[in-house]
Each structure stands twice: as structure tokens, then as C-alpha cells.
Chains A and B, each alone.
Chain A
Amino acid sequence: MKTILIVISPNGESKVETQGFSGSECRQASRFLKSALGTKRTETLTSEFYGLQSQTQTENQQEN
């Protein structure tokens, strides 16, 4: 049986794994999910209370 397993952690990071596919078929099969989940990006607009830069960014790549 061909399956795609996706595990999404409590902080939103995703792992995609394929089972039962042969060769490059697995990459093809999971492409739509990787494309949909893509890259998560959050921007914290920090308040002036910090006295730091007004904007910080974190970026987490979601991958297989």
C-alpha cells in the first residue's frame, strides 16, 4: 500500500514521509503536500518596550 505520512508537531513543523513508492515516484507523490505546506514564516512586531529593533523574523523550513 502506498501511503504518505505527515507528522505535524505542536509548534507547527511538518515532516512528510512516503512509504511503498519506488524510485522518484515518492517525490512526485508528496510534491503537492510539500508545495502546500511550504515554508512557515512568522514575524513578530516587537513593541517599543523592548528598545530593540522594531521587527524580528524567524524562519523555519519545513521539509521531509
Chain B
Amino acid sequence: MALRAACRRMRLDEPVHQTVKLFSDQATGYCVQLPRWRYPVVCNTEAGVVKYDNYDGHWGEQAHLDRLIQSYAVEKSILEARKQGHPVTEQSLADGSIKLTVLVGSGN
């Protein structure tokens, strides 16, 4: 699963499916604990929705969540490309972006 791979990429604990409290609300889904975040982020990967409460950055750095979303997109793309039988190479760019090159019809 791409979310699990994204957590491994960021050296985070594996996501756990559960219901958690987010300050005044609660949410159910795959929960990921980001570094120094008060509450976990709750991911519904099928719907493509992430629920969280970081109190406008006071309870968790937005950059950590952004990086999780980036890592998820990378892992999901790699997973889907490989399912199609396409080899993928990965390159980190200077601005922090990650570039994936998928070779199509390479006879693999």
C-alpha cells in the first residue's frame, strides 16, 4: 500500500486504521503520526481525503504533512507504473520536487 511505503520513506511508524480524536472532533481512517504533531493525520486513501488539526501550525508543522503527501504521490505513482509493467526511475530535484521517469513499452 502506497501510504505504508510513504511512511517508510519518511521513517515514520506504519499507518494504523482507527478512530482518533482531533481536538474537538474525531475521524476514522489510516492514522499517521507526524513528528511533533499533537494529533495524527487521518487518511482516507480511497476518497483522497486527509483530515488533521494542527491549529494553524501551532500543533504541527505543515511542511511535514506536505512531505507526507509528496511521498504518498511518489509511492502511488511507482506502484501504479509497476502494475502496468513499466520500469520507473526517481530523481530528486533542487527545489525539493521529485521527478519520476516511467519507460513505456521498453520490452520489459
**A residues neighboring B (CB under 8 Å):** 1-12, 14, 21, 29, 32-33, 36-50, 54, 62
Q: Write out the residue numbers on chain B whose beta carbons fall within 8 Å of the beta carbon of A9.
A: 70, 95-97
Bin the interface of chain B by size: 35 or more
Secondary structure dominating the interface of A: mixed
A43 and B49: CB pair below 8 A? Answer: yes
In the assembled complex, 26 residue pairs joining A and B whose CB atoms fall closer than 8 Å, in A order, are A2-B104, A2-B105, A4-B81, A4-B102, A5-B102, A6-B77, A6-B102, A7-B93, A7-B98, A7-B99, A8-B77, A12-B73, A21-B104, A32-B80, A32-B83, A36-B76, A36-B77, A36-B79, A37-B73, A37-B76, A37-B77, A41-B50, A44-B51, A45-B52, A49-B55, A54-B25
Q: Write out the residue numbers on chain B whose beta carbons fall within 8 Å of the beta carbon of A21.
A: 104
| Interface residue B108 (Cβ < 8 Å from any Cβ of A) | no
Secondary structure dominating the interface of B: mixed
CB within 8 A of A42: which of B50, B80, B83? B50
Q: Write out the residue numbers on chain B whose beta carbons fall within 8 Å of the beta carbon of A14.
A: 73, 77
6 further interface pairs, Cβ-Cβ under 8 Å (given A32-B84, A42-B52, A45-B22): A7-B98, A14-B77, A32-B80, A45-B52, A47-B53, A48-B24
Could you tell me the distance in whole angstroms from the C-beta of A24 to the nearest C-beta in chain B?
15
Q: Report Cα–Cα, A12/B99, bound state, in Å.
A: 12
Q: Write out the residue numbers on chain A whose beta carbons fall within 8 Å of the beta carbon of B18.
A: none
Could you tell me the distance in whole angstroms from the C-beta of A11 to the nearest C-beta in chain B?
4
Q: Write out the residue numbers on chain B whose beta carbons fall within 8 Å of the beta carbon of A46.
A: 53, 55-56
A5 and B53: CB pair below 8 A? Answer: no
B103 and A3: CB pair below 8 A? Answer: yes
